Amino acid sequence: MSYVVLRHRDIPDIHTLDVYKKNGGFEAFQRAVTKMKPNEVTGMVKASGLRGRGGAGFPTGSKWAFITDKSSWPRYVVANADESEPGTFKDREIMESNPFQFLEGVAIASYAVGANAAYVYLRGEFWQAAKFLDEKIAEMGKAGYLGDKLFGTAYSLHIHTHLGAGAYICGEETAMLESIEGKRGMPRIRPPFPAVYGLYGKPTVVNNVETLTNLPMILAQGPEWYKSLGTSDSAGVKIFSLSGRVRKPGNYELPFGTTFRQLIYEHGGGVQDGRPVKAIMPAGASSSFIVANEKVLDTPMDYASVRALGADLGSASVIVIDDTVSTEWIINKTIHFFKHESCGKCTPCREGTYWMMHLIEDLRDGKHSPSNVDLLLTVAKQMQNKCLCPLGEFSTMAVVTGIERFPQDFSK
């Protein structure tokens, strides 16, 4: 099967405008603008079953449809290139290697919701990727794919990059909008959702890089083709970022429904030193732990099947843990991460991550007692459902499931 998103692996030099155009580049965008109504584009994306690839898995077409003819103007599209979840490293590969397909996706989304300006929000560490995209955006402008009155129609579009400066929280869509507005990246209360009150208070769609990069192919080959690639629950292909104790970590674009075993053993070359898989974190540091066994390894990776295992597929950042690693050591890492990244707006998250950090450091330093473990579990559970954005919740997932599903790691 040929690649849908990581097409640079099939087509050398697709990052150049000539090669991209020779391979059908910008035909989908041009056809949309000149021959389709915006709601027809949205309809196609709805029919494809495409769901958001940033983690939440919300149907993309439905997200766009919240912006209607009656929505106010101007409108904005924001591409979420903040990629900061420990274990996720797919968006950078897309932007560095297949930039025009991503930017064409931004353009298609913008046309569908009637936006004349789009921002690509990159995490500050993607400094070089941002400079690269700036060059590509300029090339598109010169070639007539961006600018005023495109293809002789009344539709105009400008794309700008905006560089963050080191804050995981800005991957949360409302924090990202605050950040573009020149403020600290702190999440807003929702509702209203960005489709109603987004960037500068205007209707806004925020989509992940991988989501957007699927769009030119969906428009070119049709929703039925896209649906045929995945499962009934999860259409299409997904980039699985495989990391941890595997022999060949990396990005693997595979149809939804591929099993954990296929990903880890066929593609990832198996576990280092031939050790058994102890646990899987399917959505990066925000994951619940899945206790690995033969049945789990044969589970298809789609949203519903992973949820049935008591976890979420999220952005499909699959971290593989072998039997040499203690769950206690892992949650020490994840708690420190979330403590560092909590924006401080909500008390349960700000204080909860602080106290979890002290409790896990006590455990690390050998102050083991059943009451310390119980207290850590209690603090984590008290945080749940009490924060404005998912960060607070995410910080508790590995803690709660680590203690509950691997009690032997906490009973020294």
CB distance 7 to 14 below 8 Å: yes
Tokens for 347?
């008390």
CB distance 132 to 99 below 8 Å: yes
Angle between helices 27-35 and 99-113 (to 10 degrees): 10
Phi, psi of 143 (to 5 degrees): -85, 0
Interaction pattern, residues 336-375, with other proteins; x per rule: CB under 8 A: -x--xx-x--------------------------------
Name the residue nearer to other proteins (CB basis): 58 or 200. 200
One-character DSSP codes across 192-253 = SPTTTS-GGGS-EEEEEHHHHHHHHHHHHH-HHHHHTTS-SSS-SEEEEEEEESBSS-EEEE
- 88 binding other proteins? (CB under 8 A): yes
Phi-psi category of 85—alpha, beta or left, where left has phi over 0 and alpha has psi -120 to 50? beta
Interaction pattern, residues 102-131, with other proteins; x per rule: CB under 8 A: ---------------------xxxxxx---
> Which residue in 49, 52, 86, 99 binds other proteins (CB under 8 A)?
86
3-state secondary structure of 80: strand
- 239 binding other proteins? (CB under 8 A): no
Name the strands in the sheet holding 290-291, side by side, starting at the edge strand that comes first in the sequence.
Answer: 250-255, 237-244, 317-322, 277-281, 290-291
Distance between CA 6 and CA 97 in Å, rounded? 8
- 72 binding other proteins? (CB under 8 A): no
Distance between CA 81 and CA 342 in Å, rounded? 19
Size of the site for other proteins (CB under 8 A): 52
Q: What is the DSSP letter of 124?
A: G
CB distance 382 to 352 below 8 Å: yes
CB distance 123 to 84 below 8 Å: yes
- 168 binding other proteins? (CB under 8 A): yes
**Given the rule CB under 8 A, which of 16-24, 215-223, 325-333, 363-371 is the region that contacts other proteins?**
325-333
**Given the rule CB under 8 A, which of 39-47, 163-171, 220-228, 374-382 is the region that contacts other proteins?**
163-171
- 399 binding other proteins? (CB under 8 A): no
Residues facing 147 on adjacent strands:
157
Tokens for 129?
């990727």
Name the strands in the sheet holding 76-81, side by side, starting at the edge strand that comes first in the sequence.
Answer: 158-163, 117-122, 76-81, 204-208
> Which residue in 319, 376, 387, 400 binds other proteins (CB under 8 A)?
319
| Minimum distance, C-beta of residue 36 to other proteins, in the bound complex (Å) | 28
- 334 binding other proteins? (CB under 8 A): yes
- 188 binding other proteins? (CB under 8 A): no
- 198 binding other proteins? (CB under 8 A): no
Name the residue nearer to other proteins (CB basis): 159 or 306. 159
| Minimum distance, C-beta of residue 326 to other proteins, in the bound complex (Å) | 12
| Minimum distance, C-beta of residue 91 to other proteins, in the bound complex (Å) | 8
> Which residue in 167, 229, 283, 400 binds other proteins (CB under 8 A)?
167
**Given the rule CB under 8 A, which of 24-32, 159-167, 292-300, 371-379 is the region that contacts other proteins?**
159-167
- 274 binding other proteins? (CB under 8 A): no
- 290 binding other proteins? (CB under 8 A): no
- 231 binding other proteins? (CB under 8 A): no
Q: What is the binding site for other proteins (CB under 8 A)?
A: 83-89, 91-92, 123-128, 160, 162-168, 179-185, 200, 241-245, 249-251, 284-285, 317, 319, 321, 325, 330, 333-334, 337, 340-341, 343
